[in-house]
Chains A and B, each alone.
Chain A
Amino acid sequence: MSILLITHKLAEIMEITDTVSIMRQGRMVGHRETAQTNPAELAELMVGRKVLLEVDRTPAQPTEIRFSAIGLGYTNAQGVVELEDINFEVRAGEILGVAGVSGNGQTQLMEVLAGMRPLTAGQVQILGTHVTAATATDPKTIRNLGLGHIPEDRHTHGLVLTFEARENMILGFHDSVLTGGGALMDQGTIQENAETKMQGYDVRPGNPRLAAKNFSGGNQQKIVIAREFSANPGVLLVGQPTRGVDVGAIEFIHKELLALRDAGCAILLVSVELDEIMALSDRIMVLCDGKNMGIIDASDADRQGLGLMMAGQRLEAAA
């Protein structure tokens, strides 16, 4: 049987294809025998320039604890326990990765931490402020504490696809200085804000009046990232930062994420791409069935050990 596989995941191509054709901006830019090529060459053909596939990461310089959870639990409206006894702490200047098979509580964890769902047990500390089940809270309050949030699903949460890029650039910040200080939102300020950030994060096309749905996935993600990063958050939640994003944008997003870490941000990173978690994180927490299987240093982590923990073995047993 002949199978046509369309993907931007280079590992998949190398693994199972026999020949590969590369498209860039609507044109076929190359045809290769898979055995005669390598991921670096494919990435270069896809993007049109040399791409760094390996993340160039210096050791973290963590300082004070910015962000922590003690005994955090979440039981949903139907009474199902979705998160149980989650404990972690993230220091300024480090990335804590959250690994796990998709659907093991990552989404719930992100949304509880961002204030989008109420936590039902334990407490969270964000830049010195304690949040418990009793201090019911909402995304606005949490954001105002200095927490940025790149949601896992940019189409559902991160963007309003029918809105112009400049309107998306103030999503979550529409009552901040980004819209001018006056009684009415200032169009000039909103336009300028979008122009600056779209330029700074190389969003293409750099047209603030274009609706978000008309950007490619990578550029949509860059809009979200530009918005959240430039608020200079003290704590950042990042969910699936490179889902559905081309290789060039992945490189860019990874670089920016590390730059933010080195600037002293405490980052919690959720991703279903184990490679991404391992490449970016300084420490890795593994979730299985809404429970924390343990936290290990990235330098001690290997795919096999993480895989066992993702399948439900606790750190002590997996090690």
Chain B
Amino acid sequence: MSAGTAPPLPRWADIVLLPLINLAIAFIICGVIVAILGENPFQALAVMFNGAFVFPGGLGYTLYYTTNLVFTGLAVATAFHAAKFNIGGEGQAYVAGLGTAIVAFTLGALPGIIVIPLAVLGAAALGALWGVVPGYLQAYRGSHIVITTIMFNFIAASVMVYLLAGPLLQPGQQSPQTSPLPGSSHLPKLHELGLPLDASPLNASFLIALLALVAFWVLIWRTRLGYAIRTVGQNPEAAHYAGINVPRTIVLTMAIAGGFAGLLATNEILGVSQKVVLNFTAGYGFTGIAVALMGRNHPLGIFLAALLFGALYQGGAELDFEFQSITRDMVLLIQGMIILFSGALAYMFNPPLARLIARLSPRREAAYG
């Protein structure tokens, strides 16, 4: 190792300390900006915290946002394990709305216990389809997946505008949306299930999100497909040597990634709006990239990052109400700072931190050569 490089960071510092430092820096900078705007940053922080977790319904809203971000975060993380950058979560989630609608409208007469699982699968299937096409183009035609997934977001947006304003438009409706989905396809709200929660959009999708996190962990670290995905991601040539079908694995990975993104439609459509509306994905697909980055592509990290961003969505709205000089855009600023320090500059404090830890910890014998 050359003289300039720092010693490697201990695992605990890499996983816990470094992200916390990055987060703290982002918040400090935002605090300074709030102070410049003439408000008390600590008061602002308290308002955000209370808005996200304490005020009636706040926690429910936070977890409802978290649900969306878990799904899109998983969509990005799955592809990351195969070293593919899936920017297409937004589009995959958007067309997945179509999957819920198709199932709900065609099978709506059946009882919920049948319709709901099929509608969830419908969402995942359409999301998967929207992931498979860029996956195929990357694996077999060498088209860069970053480009194609971005393009597929635009295609999804155009297709959905056409469908919602045309063939699927609710008769007599002015704004582009479908008719309400049959009642049998509605997911129950958690506060309706007898849980001690205030009224909020939080619904059974949150439980699906928790299941998805577990399923993701099992898939990546306990299944043979997950082993293949990680091998393709870490060393595609070794994967080929080992008899793993690299292109097919990439396509499968993108199918699963798209499927995760598609589940966002279960939260937004089956759980909340109960109809497909224009732009229901609202940028969650893009925030999911930050969630996956910050969560280090690990389900626990993804959950915590999704919770953080969910709390920002919800608590940030509160800022707007409470302070004269702060608008909703402050949330974007905070998000931007967090993405900047946790994503783009994630390792900026790595070398000084590593040197500090190395100096503080007792000298250890050099590892076996």
| Interfacial residues, chain A to chain B (CB-CB below 8 A) | 25-26, 114, 116, 138-141, 143, 149, 151, 156-163, 167, 170-172, 174-175, 179, 183-185, 187, 204-205, 214, 216
Question: CB distance A162 to B227 under 8 Å?
Answer: no
Question: CB distance A174 to B228 under 8 Å?
Answer: yes
Question: CB distance A157 to B238 under 8 Å?
Answer: yes
Q: A159: which B residues are within 8 A, CB to CB?
A: 235, 238
Within 8 Å of chain A (Cβ to Cβ): is B364? no
For the complex, what is the distance from the CA of A167 to the CA of B367, rounded to whole Å? 21
- Chain B, Cβ-Cβ closest to A140: B243
Q: B223: which A residues are within 8 A, CB to CB?
A: 183-185
Question: CB distance A160 to B224 under 8 Å?
Answer: no
Question: CB distance B369 to A160 under 8 Å?
Answer: no
Question: CB distance B224 to A151 under 8 Å?
Answer: no
For the complex, what is the distance from the CA of A143 to the CA of B242, rounded to whole Å? 9
Q: How near does chain B come to A126, taking the closest CB pair, in angstroms?
A: 14
Question: CB distance B241 to A157 under 8 Å?
Answer: yes
Within 8 Å of chain A (Cβ to Cβ): is B282? no
For the complex, what is the distance from the CA of A40 to the CA of B227, rounded to whole Å? 44
Could you pull out 16 A-B pairs where Cβ atoms are within 8 angstroms? A26-B366, A138-B243, A141-B243, A151-B241, A156-B235, A157-B241, A160-B234, A160-B235, A163-B231, A170-B227, A171-B241, A172-B241, A184-B222, A185-B222, A185-B223, A185-B227
- Main secondary structure, interface of B, reads helix
Q: B228: which A residues are within 8 A, CB to CB?
A: 174
Question: CB distance A214 to B367 under 8 Å?
Answer: yes
Within 8 Å of chain A (Cβ to Cβ): is B237? yes
Q: Specify which of A116, A141, A216 is in contact with B241 (CB 8 Å cutoff).
A: A116
Q: B243: which A residues are within 8 A, CB to CB?
A: 138-141, 143, 172
Question: CB distance A216 to B231 under 8 Å?
Answer: no
Q: A175: which B residues are within 8 A, CB to CB?
A: 224
For the complex, what is the distance from the CA of A204 to the CA of B222, rounded to whole Å? 26
Question: CB distance B367 to A162 under 8 Å?
Answer: no
For the complex, what is the distance from the CA of A10 to the CA of B146, rounded to whole Å? 50
Q: How near does chain B come to A78, taking the closest CB pair, in angstroms?
A: 16
Q: B368: which A residues are within 8 A, CB to CB?
A: 25, 204-205
Binary contact track B294-332/A, C-beta < 8 Å → 1, others 0: 000000000000000000000000000000000000000
For the complex, what is the distance from the CA of A184 to the CA of B305, rounded to whole Å? 28
Q: How near does chain A come to B283, taking the closest CB pair, in angstroms?
A: 33
Q: How near does chain B come to A187, taking the closest CB pair, in angstroms?
A: 8
Question: CB distance B234 to A114 under 8 Å?
Answer: no
Q: A139: which B residues are within 8 A, CB to CB?
A: 240-243
Binary contact track B326-369/A, C-beta < 8 Å → 1, others 0: 00000000000000000000000000000000000000001111
Q: How near does chain A come to B72, taking the closest CB pair, in angstroms?
A: 26
Most chain A CB within 10 A, of B223, B228, B235, is at B235
Q: How near does chain A come to B185, taking the closest CB pair, in angstroms?
A: 31
For the complex, what is the distance from the CA of A161 to the CA of B234, rounded to whole Å? 8
Q: A160: which B residues are within 8 A, CB to CB?
A: 230-231, 234-235, 238
Q: B224: which A residues are within 8 A, CB to CB?
A: 174-175, 179, 185
Q: How near does chain B come to A308, taking the closest CB pair, in angstroms?
A: 34
With A160-B231, A185-B223, A214-B367 already in contact, the answer to whether A116 and B218 are too (CB < 8 A) is no
Q: A179: which B residues are within 8 A, CB to CB?
A: 224, 227
Question: CB distance B369 to A216 under 8 Å?
Answer: yes
Within 8 Å of chain A (Cβ to Cβ): is B245? yes
For the complex, what is the distance from the CA of A151 to the CA of B235, rounded to whole Å? 14
Question: CB distance A26 to B240 under 8 Å?
Answer: no
Most chain A CB within 10 A, of B218, B234, B237, B241, is at B241
With A184-B222, A184-B223, A185-B227 already in contact, the answer to whether A162 and B234 are too (CB < 8 A) is yes
Q: B366: which A residues are within 8 A, CB to CB?
A: 26
Q: B369: which A residues are within 8 A, CB to CB?
A: 25-26, 216
Q: How near does chain A come to B9, taking the closest CB pair, in angstroms?
A: 15
- Chain B, Cβ-Cβ closest to A184: B222
Most chain A CB within 10 A, of B242, B245, B367, is at B242
Besides A140-B245, A157-B241, A160-B234, 13 other CB < 8 A contacts? A116-B240, A138-B243, A138-B245, A139-B240, A156-B237, A156-B238, A157-B240, A158-B241, A160-B230, A160-B231, A162-B235, A163-B231, A184-B223
Q: B230: which A residues are within 8 A, CB to CB?
A: 160, 163
Q: A161: which B residues are within 8 A, CB to CB?
A: 234-235
- Chain B, Cβ-Cβ closest to A162: B234
For the complex, what is the distance from the CA of A151 to the CA of B240, rounded to whole Å? 12
